[in-house]
Structure 1
Amino acid sequence: MQEFQHKAFNELFDLSGKVAVVTGGANGIGKATALRLAEAGANIAIADLKLEDAQAAVKDIEALGVKALAVQCNILKDDDLVAMVDTVVAEFGTVNVLINNAGGGGGGRENPDTASVDDIRRDFELNVFSGWRLSQLCAPHMKKSGYGSIVFTTSMSSVNKSPNMSGYAGSKAAVNHMVANLAHDFGPEVRVNAVGPGATRTDALKTVLTPEIEKKMLANTPIKRLGEADDIAGAMLYFAAPISTWVSGQTIFVNGGGVQTLD
């Protein structure tokens, strides 16, 4: 039986020398997460569709004293995913942490009377298939390195019931269950978890948020404010860091204690 070893507090969040890939890491929750991981000592690869935005994020990350790399990547293209992982490994030698943050869809725009099957398929390609594929590509490097953590961004929509959200909500619900299964597939060397943001002030939320919707959201939220990107980044750091080495297959919702919907 392995003897329990008490670790110092600073060791529990220490990612010094680790390599973290953050998809959709140029802005919003992705960038906030990248900065938080960098503060913990990790070298960061920002994979984003917009290279200029990724390069700007890299400058902010490097200012924290770690190494950083910007890689242009369309998560819908398998060749881009393969090339991105190859580039990161060539630059840093391995991958220890993968934040599957990039995704899309939703916004109450999926009325089944007007949406096409291609619209719904795209939700699953963005939110499920790309993350599964990146996990498949990164897990061998994690196992070889001796340290691995994969974190998906899911959504409150995965457990809420809202009109015109069936494709997006369905894809995020699939993420939750996929995470629980991948934890078995990749364990014990690699942990797999998910963070489900509630209503968080991002560019995506701005496109659908009205004063009326915000008022209703806050009425159902014990902590009377919307989330900020840093709120979500803290949970991402928890799953990425050694403090959670006995946590896998879990989804945690960071939502101010409430249930926020767009209807």
Structure 2
Amino acid sequence: MIFDQLRVTDHVAVVTGAGRGIGAATAVALAEAGADVVISSRTEADLHDVAARIEQAGRKAHVVAADLSDPSAAADLARAAVDVLGRLDIVVNNVGGTYPRPLLDTSVEFLEAAFRFNVSTAHALTVAAVPSMLATGGGAIVNISSVMGRVAGRGFAAYGTAKAALAHYTRLAAADLAPRVRVNAIAVGSVATSALDVVVGNPELRAKMEAATPLHVIGDPDHIAAMVLHLASPAGGYITGKVIEVDGGLQTPNLEFGLPDL
């Protein structure tokens, strides 16, 4: 059956930023497809709720509350997967994000912090995970990038630059790690997570964003989780070094902050 290609039975995954939103949906999807999952974010209470959903799917969950803006904390997750669950097959580098800020208010420190949180943490976990993946034959890494790494909008110099870097890092890492470890990314569009609460909760803003999106809807975390599962499972076994756009068809930003001309 073709659907069997989406199974990851008895594999072990690490998902960062897994307390809610895309990370939580992804962790549960991987569990429903047969994986045990190490889940990590800052807020332990959120993680326990996700762990309960993983266990309801019949799989094991291991909770690690950590500040993943520290790359060393991200790297520690690879060791936790092997120590607690016995192996490591899948990494989802989901943690990231940076608040919009006008260019002239974007300090060097702010830019470097954005790069560290969105790229350095992914690199640290990747480097830590690969030896364990190779020990069991190989693995798959999925990085969560953004449409703002591809399109230009005012206020996104730090975030967009970091996500563009993560997208190209994906291609470079895939070249280095082929053929035994596949590395892909998802360029995410506007998805109904806590980062968009101010939009989703405002009917006028939501309607404006949906109207500017070719599919006329805001995405759901499950849309991204489904693509992560595809890329991490045997169904994606002939895909590496690619950035898959799951963004409702965007070619330009669908929400402007109204920053004036200088």
C-alpha distance in 2, partners of 1:77/1:22? 16
CA contact (8 A) 1:160 1:261 kept: no
Task: Tell me which stretches of 4 or more aligned residues in structure 1 moved more than 6 Å.
Answer: none
Would the alpha carbon gap of residues 82 and 9 (structure 1) be closer, same or farther in structure 2, given more than 3 Å must change? same
C-alpha contact (below 8 Å) 1:162/1:261 kept by paired residues: no
Call closer, same or farther: CA 1:250–1:166 in 2, change over 3 Å: same
Say if 1:170 and 1:208 are closer, same or farther in 2 by CA, change over 3 A.
Answer: farther
The answer to whether structure 1 residue 240 and structure 2 residue 240 are counterparts is: no
Matched, 1:180 2:171: yes
Return the match for 2:33 from 15, 35, 40: 40
2:156 counterpart of 1:165: yes
Using the size of structure 2 for normalisation, the TM-score is 0.92
Count of equivalent residues: 254
Q: Percent identity between the aligned chains?
A: 33
Counterpart of 2:105 in 1: which secondary structure? coil
Q: Please report how far the alpha carbon of residue 208 of structure 1 lies from its aligned counterpart in structure 2 after TM superposition.
A: 5.3
CA-to-aligned-CA distance 1:166-204 (integer Å, 9 cap, x gap): 010000001111100100111110000001111111100
Instruction: Give the equivalent residue in structure 1 for 2:91.
Output: 98
What is the RMSD of the two structures over their aligned residues, measured on CA atoms? Answer: 1.5
What corresponds to 1:229 in structure 2? Answer: 221
User: Which residues in structure 2 correspond to 1:76-225 (within 5 Å)?
Assistant: 76-106=69-99, 108=100, 110-207=101-198, 210-225=202-217
Shift of 1:211: 4.1
Q: Structure 1: which 5+ residue stretches go unaligned?
A: 1-7
Aligned match of 1:26: 19
- How far 1:17 moved relative to its partner? 0.6
CA shift, 1:262, in A, is: 2.3
Distance in 1, Cα, partners of 2:157 & 2:75: 30
CA displacement at 1:222 relative to structure 2 = 2.9
2: distance between equivalents of 1:232 and 1:81?
21
Counterpart in the other structure of 2:5: 12
- Give the partner amino acid of 1:123: A
Which segment is superposed worse, 18-27 or 113-122?
113-122
CA distance in 1, matches of 2:71, 2:168: 23
Residue pair 1:81, 1:134 contacting (<8 A) in 2 also: yes
